[in-house]
Structure 1
Amino acid sequence: MLLSRTFISFFIFGLINNVLYVVILTAAHDLVPPTTPKSIVLLADILPAFLLKLCLPLFVNKSVSNNDGVDSKRQSVGLGINYPLRLAMIVVLSSVGIILTSLPVPLFIVLGGVVLASLSSGLGETTFLQLSHYYSNDGSNNTLKSTNVAIHGWSSGTGGAGLVGAGLVLVFTTIIKVPIDWVLRFCALMPLFHLWVFFGYLPVPTLNVSSSYSVNEDEEGLIDDIDNCGSHGNSTLVENPTMVDINIETDEILAHSKNGFFAILLPKIRQYFFIYMLPLSVVYFAEYVINQGVAPTMLFPLHQTPFTTFRDSYVAYGTIYQVGVFISRSSGSVIRLKNLYLLGLLQVINLAICILQSIFMFMPSIWIVFIIILYEGLLGGAGYVNTFMSVSEEVQSNEREFALGCVGISDSFGIVMAAGISLWLEPTLCHFQVDSGRDWCTLK
């Protein structure tokens, strides 16, 4: 029962955390004027999250011992942040941000709302990935299995968010013709589900504690008090991230931050860079250049499409892409791909094909483009889930929380780079098309 509740909880976390991000990107054509690069929305939607995730891996609720093994002399890996506090920030930022995007206000205010939603998304991704570390032991000897359940749930939820978010925009704006501002206001209510899941449904976590970790007497008493409550049956509570904080002396933290704090952190980050972070960044860079820099220009005459406006093609591309992401992210337990660099190479080839299509329009039908976009989503989702599955399988449990937070930076880094390139690429492709007699990219 613990595993199924863990999976469902992290599925909902992933779904709600990412759905607003997807809605904003899918509605980018409606949020900015036709001649404004859609990647400006992507940049506002990802850059704050990226900067936030650069810092958050430092804020982990754990410590490691000195090489001499003396527990009383602990080196800080990060400064503990309370998970309920993070959750409250996630809910407020996302709801306020999405409401601002729905208002008839100047573009800079709309982009400000996108920034708030981005901060929420970045905080949420790092928080929930780190939280999954606390579900690395279900009371049995198979710690890997339970970790995979949490990661599977999160990955499936984030993939589902893409499908739900893009599907909402497609169905309500393209088919039912509901104004986009009403769709956005409806989505602003979704973050409230975080509160119900975290406080009312998520099981109490169990965690293997490494030999380098020791709790003090106050913590032992607090753990005993929590365990005696028995709020979730027979779960073996070792550490509850919602209630237990590790006491670290402020003077020790300040001294350590000056003398050796980053000397410890940088080698830890470096060991994950080439194995996990770089290939995931390449996958995300290529796919988001396609989505925001090339897809707005991969257009056909309306009589050759099933749509009545050109913006509908952009929304359809986003929805089909998310279908592919959902399929591949949900298949991580069935299909495991260890070669992460191969996924990046295939996505770069996909990007080259899409750019050639935008320039030369050699594909005779939009339906072929639909297949290419679906394939793009499959590669992107596979890159995400297989990277985090590899981390959960290969990184030691006492380092896994920090590793997940670090690797969570790489997708955002790739997207930030893609947004910067797309600010130049989309107008360049559009101008080329206009000079060639195709002005569809300038129309709604």
Structure 2
Amino acid sequence: MSSLLFTSLLPPSFFLLGLLNNSSYVIMLAGAKEISEGGVALVFICNVLPSFICKLTGPIWFHKVKYEVRIKVCMILMSLSFIIVALSNDYRVKLLGVAAASLQSGLGEASILALASRYQRTRECLTAWSSGTGAAGVFGFAFVWVFNSALGWSFPVMLCAANVFTGLFGVVYFYMLPKQDGGEDDEDEGGDGGEEDHDGLLEDFPRKEISTEGKSQDKSQLLSISDRLKFTRRLYKYMIPLFLVYFAEYAMQSGTWAAIGFPVEDEDARKSFYQNANWVYQAGVFVSRSSGNIWHASMFALWLMPVIQCGMLVLFYLIAIYQFLYSNVLLLGCFFVGLLGGSVYVNAFNRISKDIEKENVELALSTASVADSCGIMLSDVAGLFLQACVYKKFGIEGAAVSC
């Protein structure tokens, strides 16, 4: 009975961790125009740069810091991000709050992706996590719409209320997620290995549900920095598709979608399309990220989808400039963009868990996660200029840069 209970808790735990970890990130995206109306891409940059730096340097130090410690840091950063943005009147200080949310989501993503490799049902954990992160998009935008638009709460009050997610994140990780019952797996998380076991509600968790590859996993912990960097190069065939698909879709979000409205000259119309486009996009992401147990993409498909996504970026920019197909029918395209992005995400990480040797999967999953952040970061720079060029075309003021 105990075995069945804890086995059934595994996928829901990873789903909820994905949902809660990414909620702060999505809420900042949803409120980007509240934070900086003319520089949406600036908000996007602050919402990804710290995450990118964290993931980029992670292979050097992740193995030295226990998962417990990383999660606690995530909780602190999540709460700080909401409070800073809510209480500040200076948009530059608000951007610091956005940066805190970025660091939290990046650290959480890289850590929990790697944690999935410690369970025998790694692919099931990864699919549940991916589905949760996809649901976070829909949930985050819905949260902002319900409390900010429908109920009329101010953006700062809504952010203060969002602090409840911090507590829920901790409850799921420390009390709901099945954990190791001690031994070598706990020792090689990092640090001095002397931290107490997680017991509480989980003290009777059956050992068989945890990966028994502890000794082989030790090999990746002993790799030098040089070896870790060399290992990263082996992951290019997964990381390049992740980079490209996220570069294209976030350039659309921060650039073209922020500069479309019916009519484009109306600020409220632009804000409305931006919110609707992102909502529909997040729905597409949720659907495709939840498909990891249904559809397993070939390597050809994994590379084809980013190419199509880049084509969608070109199409949306031309639509923004020349205003053909200029109506809410564009939301169908936004949904398709979400489908592509989510499919590449879940299939890239599932393929890594399948293709890479078991002792290196934990390192590979956390390392590959830097690719999407890199794509998002560069796309946000491109988005600044895409938005500015569309604004210039129609004589709209308020762009953060000059085209």
TM-score, structure 1 as length reference: 0.79
Query: Which one of the candidate residues 219, 229, 236 is aligned to 1:266?
Result: 229
Query: Which one of the candidate residues 53, 58, 61 is aligned to 1:59?
Result: 61
Corresponding residue for residue 357 of structure 1 = 319
Give the drift of 1:6.
1.0
Alignment-mate amino acid for residue 72 of structure 2: A
Q: How big is each residue's C-alpha offset from its partner over 1:392-416, in whole Å with a ceiling of 9 and x where there is no partner?
A: 1111110000000111100000001
Give the drift of 1:3.
3.6
For structure 2, list consecutive stretches of 5 or more residues without a partner in the other structure: none
Query: Which one of the candidate residues 101, 112, 118 is aligned to 2:85?
Result: 101
How high is the sequence identity, in percent, across the aligned residues?
A: 30
Query: Which one of the candidate residues 36, 39, 42 is aligned to 1:37?
Result: 39
* Contact 2:263–2:269 (Cα < 8 Å) also in 1: no
Structure with the larger helix share: 2
CA separation of 1:334 and 1:208: change in aligned 2, threshold 3 A? farther
Corresponding residue for residue 123 of structure 2 = 148
- Does residue 373 (structure 1) correspond to residue 357 (structure 2)? The answer is no
CA RMSD of aligned residues (A): 3.3
Give me the whole-angstrom Cα distance separating, in 2, the residues matched to 1:181 and 1:31.
Answer: 10
CA separation of 1:374 and 1:238: change in aligned 2, threshold 3 A? closer
CA separation of 1:334 and 1:168: change in aligned 2, threshold 3 A? same
Q: How big is each residue's C-alpha offset from its partner over 1:45-85, in whole Å with a ceiling of 9 and x where there is no partner?
A: 1001100111112335xxxxxxxxxxxxxxxxxx4211111
Corresponding residue for residue 289 of structure 1 = 251
- Does residue 20 (structure 1) correspond to residue 24 (structure 2)? The answer is yes
Query: Which one of the candidate residues 102, 112, 125 is aligned to 2:109?
Result: 125
Give the drift of 1:86.
0.8
Corresponding residue for residue 290 of structure 2 = 330
Q: How does 1:26-425 map to 2 (within 5 A)?
A: 26-32=30-36, 34=37, 36-60=38-62, 79-135=63-119, 137=120, 146-205=121-180, 231-236=203-208, 261-273=224-236, 275-301=237-263, 309-338=269-298, 339-365=301-327, 367-425=328-386
Alignment-mate amino acid for residue 289 of structure 1: A
For structure 1, list consecutive stretches of 5 or more residues without a partner in the other structure: 61-78, 138-145, 247-252
Alignment-mate amino acid for residue 402 of structure 1: L
Alignment-mate amino acid for residue 10 of structure 1: F
Alignment-mate amino acid for residue 269 of structure 1: T
Structure 1 runs of 4+ with >2 Å offset: 1-4, 57-60, 170-178, 204-210, 232-241, 260-263, 307-310, 439-442
CA separation of 1:206 and 1:268: change in aligned 2, threshold 3 A? farther
Give me the whole-angstrom Cα distance separating, in 1, the residues matched to 2:264 and 2:307.
Answer: 33
Determine which structure has more spread, i.e. the larger CA radius of gyration.
Answer: 1
* Contact 1:203–1:232 (Cα < 8 Å) also in 2: no
Corresponding residue for residue 76 of structure 1 = none
- Does residue 8 (structure 1) correspond to residue 6 (structure 2)? The answer is no
Give me the whole-angstrom Cα distance separating, in 1, the residues matched to 2:380 and 2:273.
Answer: 20
CA separation of 1:109 and 1:441: change in aligned 2, threshold 3 A? closer
Alignment-mate amino acid for residue 343 of structure 2: A
Give me the whole-angstrom Cα distance separating, in 2, the residues matched to 1:133 and 1:160.
Answer: 22
Give me the whole-angstrom Cα distance separating, in 2, the residues matched to 1:91 and 1:133.
Answer: 22
Alignment-mate amino acid for residue 26 of structure 1: A
CA separation of 1:88 and 1:233: change in aligned 2, threshold 3 A? closer
* Contact 1:134–1:205 (Cα < 8 Å) also in 2: no
* Contact 1:283–1:348 (Cα < 8 Å) also in 2: yes
Give me the whole-angstrom Cα distance separating, in 2, the residues matched to 1:226 and 1:124.
Answer: 19
* Contact 1:205–1:239 (Cα < 8 Å) also in 2: no
Give me the whole-angstrom Cα distance separating, in 2, the residues matched to 1:271 and 1:319.
Answer: 35
Q: Report how many residues are paired.
A: 384
CA separation of 1:390 and 1:237: change in aligned 2, threshold 3 A? closer
Alignment-mate amino acid for residue 330 of structure 1: S
Give me the whole-angstrom Cα distance separating, in 2, the residues matched to 1:271 and 1:160.
Answer: 31
Give the drift of 1:423.
1.9
CA separation of 1:237 and 1:15: change in aligned 2, threshold 3 A? closer
Give me the whole-angstrom Cα distance separating, in 1, the residues matched to 2:210 and 2:330.
Answer: 51
* Contact 2:181–2:198 (Cα < 8 Å) also in 1: no
Give the drift of 1:348.
0.4
* Contact 2:232–2:367 (Cα < 8 Å) also in 1: yes
Alignment-mate amino acid for residue 230 of structure 2: P
* Contact 1:59–1:80 (Cα < 8 Å) also in 2: yes
Per the alignment, in what secondary structure is the counterpart of residue 204 of structure 2? coil
* Contact 2:242–2:371 (Cα < 8 Å) also in 1: yes
TM-score, structure 2 as length reference: 0.87
CA separation of 1:152 and 1:431: change in aligned 2, threshold 3 A? same
Q: How big is each residue's C-alpha offset from its partner over 1:148-190, in whole Å with a ceiling of 9 and x where there is no partner?
A: 1110111011001101001112233333332222221111220
Give the drift of 1:87.
1.0
Q: How big is each residue's C-alpha offset from its partner over 1:184-232, in whole Å with a ceiling of 9 and x where there is no partner?
A: 111122021122112211112499999xx99xxx98x999x999x9812
Give me the whole-angstrom Cα distance separating, in 2, the residues matched to 1:289 and 1:348.
Answer: 10
Alignment-mate amino acid for residue 295 of structure 2: I
Q: How big is each residue's C-alpha offset from its partner over 1:372-428, in whole Å with a ceiling of 9 and x where there is no partner?
A: 111111111111111111111111110000000111100000001101111222111
CA separation of 1:398 and 1:190: change in aligned 2, threshold 3 A? same
* Contact 2:25–2:101 (Cα < 8 Å) also in 1: yes
Per the alignment, in what secondary structure is the counterpart of residue 196 of structure 1? helix
